[in-house]
Chains A and B, each alone.
Chain A
């Protein structure tokens, strides 16, 4: 069965550094998402992306965050200047319209 693939599985970065999290969505999917889960807390929506632009974003998704689909397969989340509170598990997901979202296994981001 097709899968959403996320790399790396664990990223350790110094505070203030830029980080890029990578995702390869399922190939025929049209909608792409990023979520985060701070340790011990619930999963939170960050952003959705459709037709090469952001379709919705949460208040968490401020100017420090950006998303990009640089080619036909990858979908990236960039955090420009990381803070300690950005430490979390970041999940990518993709879907075909209203179909269930398929999640990747997540990237654990640790900010030191």
Chain B
């Protein structure tokens, strides 16, 4: 069983829709990260969370430590949001364990 599971694996939506990507983990963590990977392969850190909720522009990330679950939301989605979104958790201070990613496609 993977330590970090994401759902859905693939998501296609129309521009403007509200997007939710889910992440569940089965291990103890010190922090959870949401990352964005573009088609060229580069990885960008979006959020690091250890509790509660964070917002940056149209992106919102939440985490429920008791339920070992996090969600990434995108409001007013746009075709430029099309990318692979990856959930990763810190086991201890440094090592990141990654989910398999969610491929998001936003159609105009």
Residues of chain A whose beta carbon lies under 8 Å from any beta carbon of chain B: 31, 33, 35, 37, 41-45, 48, 50, 55-56, 58, 89, 91, 95, 97-106, 108
Q: B65-108 CB contact bits vs A (8 Å, 1 = yes)?
A: 00000000000000000000010101011111111110000000
B residues touching A (Cβ–Cβ < 8 Å)?
30-31, 33, 35, 40-45, 47-48, 86, 88, 90, 92-101
Residues of B within 8 A of A43 (CB): 43, 86, 88, 96, 98
Q: Are B95 and A100 in contact (CB under 8 A)?
A: no
Contact B41 A55 (CB under 8 A): no
Contact B43 A103 (CB under 8 A): yes
- A101 with B41: in contact, given A42-B101, A43-B86, A43-B88 (CB under 8 Å)? no
User: A97-B93, A98-B31, A103-B35 known; 19 other A-B pairs, CB under 8 Å?
Assistant: A42-B98, A42-B99, A42-B101, A43-B86, A44-B98, A45-B95, A45-B97, A45-B98, A55-B94, A56-B92, A56-B95, A58-B95, A98-B30, A98-B48, A98-B90, A98-B93, A99-B48, A101-B45, A105-B40
A103 touches B94 (CB 8 A): no
**A-side contacts of B35, CB under 8 Å:** 103
Determine the chain B residues whose CB is within 8 A of the CB of A99 once the complex forms: 48
CA distance A77 to B3 in the complex (A): 26
The number of residue pairs between A and B whose CB atoms lie closer than 8 Å in the complex comes to 60
**CB neighbours of A98 from chain B (8 A):** 30-31, 48, 90, 93
C-alpha gap A27/B43 in the complex (Å)? 19
A89 to B31, CA, bound (A): 25
